[in-house]
Amino acid sequence: MRQYWVYVLASRSRVLYTGVTNNLELRVAQHREGRFGFTAKYRVTRLVYCEETSNVADAIAREKQIKAWTRVKRVALIESVNPTWDDLLPPEKADPSLRSG
């Protein structure tokens, strides 16, 4: 069964980015490497929220739903499961295949 993830990344100053992927560790690693414009520009690299589903249509619909919310509502969602805004995927757990070295 496939897995799909809706995720929210944050910068240190709490700029938010919401996305969807079928490989959470790889996608977070890509954001951290600066592969995407918005997240690279604003250094949005900390995974602060994620939820899993087995249906891609549900994942896309949920991503759109969260993106349509006010910032206050998105912050409340994050803080309902991660009140201290900890990085849920510390850098040492990101996809090692993307590291140089």
The rounded distance, in Å, linking the Cα atoms of 4 and 38 is 22
Structure confidence by residue, pLDDT tens digits, 26-81: 999 999 999 999 999 999 999 999 999 999 999 999 999 999 999 999 999 999 99
Q: Which CATH superfamily is domain 4-91 in?
A: GIY-YIG endonuclease (3.40.1440.10)
Long-range CB contact pairs, 32-35, < 8 A, 24+: 32/91, 32/94, 33/98
Domain ranges of the chain: 4-91
Are 8 and 66 contacting, i.e. CB atoms less than 8 angstroms apart?
yes
Matching residue, tokens 């949920």: 62
Instruction: Provide the whole-model pTM.
Output: 0.89
